[in-house]
Amino acid sequence: MPTGTCYGVDINRNFDTNFGGAGSSDIPCIDTYHGPNSFSEAESSAVRDVLIANRPRVKAAISIHTYSQLVREYVKKIYYSIKTVFILFHFVWYSTILQST
């Protein structure tokens, strides 16, 4: 285990929902350290403040995060799947137009 002075908080674990629960650590030198209390970091409190300020307009908020580059690869797969569906839809639609003329 690292020793000495450690800096930083895992921002994903710095919100009040399930703060300090399973998967987080109260040891500052661990990469899942949740911080001294919820919203103790500027980033998490900024997200909270924006959502509160826009409460009447916000219908849902989704946070997607990952330990590595997995989200980027997943989004890329979704993009190409949607692009393929769009191309197929366009082909079928265009074929239908040609057949009806």
Query: 59 and 85, same structural domain?
Result: no
3-state helix, strand, coil in the chain (%, to 5): 45, 0, 50
Query: 50 and 8, same structural domain?
Result: yes
How far apart are alpha carbons 90 and 101 in whole angstroms? Answer: 17
> For residues 1 and 62, which has the higher predicted lDDT (pLDDT)?
62
* Number of domains the chain is built from: 2
Tell me the two tokens of residue 74: 């997943």
pLDDT band at 3 (very low <50, low <70, confident <90, very high): low
Query: 57 and 19, same structural domain?
Result: yes
Query: 19 and 57, same structural domain?
Result: yes
Query: 76 and 37, same structural domain?
Result: no
Question: Is the entire prediction scored with pTM above 0.85?
Answer: no
20 and 37 Cβ atoms separated by less than 8 Å: no
Query: 10 and 58, same structural domain?
Result: yes
Query: 53 and 14, same structural domain?
Result: yes
Q: Whole domain around residue 37: which residue ranges?
A: 1-63
